């Protein structure tokens, strides 16, 4: 899955592909510290699980636990009553999804978040909050889990968003970058030089921790989607399209019999 793009941040245990810890804390819910939130990551890939954990470095109020998506482990998950369950699997697991939905309706799971893999539809996932595989950059994962924690009633658990550090001008340029405009087109639209646009793009790539232009566009689509909806048409049109020219075809001469 795309969260493997953060592999450079993983621990040596993840790089050795060891199995993730599969046992939840035995501490009863009533005895759990009030300021500690249980977050369970269900995944069959240790590397993916540790990648998600690496994305959340610095989120001190979260007790992150990796579990395999199997029926026995799911039973432990539901009994622990976690505030958030993150599902990151590469194949559809309808039975597991139904159990998670039912547990959430009973109040045994606070919120559900999903990282959808290629070829999987939204109906195959239990949560309303999800991001596709291609957009699973570190910033996008943090934004997804921030929304999930807010839905679970714990918006204060997440530290300030990295994307909140974007200046107003960077957000303005970011909305155009996310819809496919080039630096030259953005410069003409905003009356700034393409070199200035490129400088803002570089600053956004550093703040959002992405490595290339494609990852930047995907991260911006995920983070600024609410600001883009209804503002910019999709698919994007050229900023200054040349006027259409009328083409006149030659009229064939009539042959004289």
Same domain flag for 7 and 120: yes
Q: Is 55 in the same domain as 130?
A: yes
* Residue 184 predicted with pLDDT over 90: yes
| In contact, 152 and 125? CB cutoff 8 Å | no
Query: Residues 76, 173: one domain?
Result: no
Whether residue 240 is contained in a domain is answered as no
Per-residue pLDDT tens digits for 50-90: 888 877 777 778 888 888 888 888 888 888 889 888 888 77
Give the separation between CA 231 and CA 143, rounded to whole angstroms: 21
- Mean per-residue pLDDT, 17-29: 39
DSSP 150: H
Asked if residue 78 belongs to a domain, the reply is yes
The residues pairing with 37 across neighbouring beta strands, listed in sequence order, are 62
152 close to 83: Cβ distance less than 8 angstroms: yes
Which has the closest alpha carbon to 184: 175, 172, 196, 174?
Answer: 196
Same domain, residue pair 83 and 184: no
Can you give the pLDDT at residue 70? 86
Compute the mean pLDDT over every residue in the chain, rounded to the nearest whole number: 72
Residue 204: inside a domain? yes
Which whole number is the average pLDDT over 221-242? 52
| pLDDT score, position 19 | 38
Domain count, the chain: 2
Whether residue 126 sits in one domain with residue 177: no
Residue 136 has pLDDT above 90, yes or no: no
- Domain limit, last residue, from 157, 177, 194: 157
Give the domain extent around 211: 162-228
Output the pLDDT for position 87: 84
- Sign of CA pseudo-dihedral 128, 129, 133, 134: positive
Domain at 114, CATH number: 3.40.50.2300
CA count, 13 A, side-chain hemisphere, 121: 3
Q: How confident is the model at residue 193 (pLDDT cuts 50, 70, 90)?
A: very high
- For the segment 157-171, the average pLDDT, to the nearest whole number, is 77
Same domain, 62 and 149: yes
Q: Greater confidence, 238 or 68?
A: 68
């Amino acid at each position: 899955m795309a969260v493997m793009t953060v592999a450079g941040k993983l621990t040596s245990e993840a790089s050795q592909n060891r199995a993730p810890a599969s046992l939840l804390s035995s501490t009863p819910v009533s005895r759990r510290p009030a300021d500690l939130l249980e977050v369970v990551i269900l995944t069959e890939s240790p590397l993916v699980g540790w990648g998600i954990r690496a994305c959340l470095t610095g989120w001190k109020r979260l007790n992150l636990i990796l579990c395999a998506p199997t029926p026995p482990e799911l039973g432990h998950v539901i009994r622990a009553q976690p505030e958030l369950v993150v599902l990151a699997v590469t194949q559809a697991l309808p039975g597991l999804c139904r159990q998670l939905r039912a547990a959430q309706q009973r109040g045994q799971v606070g919120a559900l978040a999903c990282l959808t893999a290629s070829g999987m539809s939204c109906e195959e996932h239990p949560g309303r909050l999800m991001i596709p595989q291609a957009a699973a950059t570190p910033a996008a994962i943090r934004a997804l889990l921030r929304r999930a924690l807010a839905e679970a009633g714990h918006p204060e658990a997440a530290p300030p968003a990295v994307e909140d550090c974007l200046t107003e001008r960077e957000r303005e340029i970011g909305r155009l970058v996310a819809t496919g405009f080039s630096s030259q087109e953005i410069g003409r639209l905003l009356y700034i030089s393409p070199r200035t646009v490129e400088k803002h793009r570089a600053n956004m790539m550093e703040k959002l921790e992405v490595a290339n232009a494609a990852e930047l566009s995907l991260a911006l689509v995920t983070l600024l989607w609410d600001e883009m909806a209804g503002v910019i048409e999709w698919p994007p049109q050229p900023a200054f399209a040349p006027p259409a020219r009328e083409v006149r075809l030659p009229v064939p001469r009539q042959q004289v019999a």
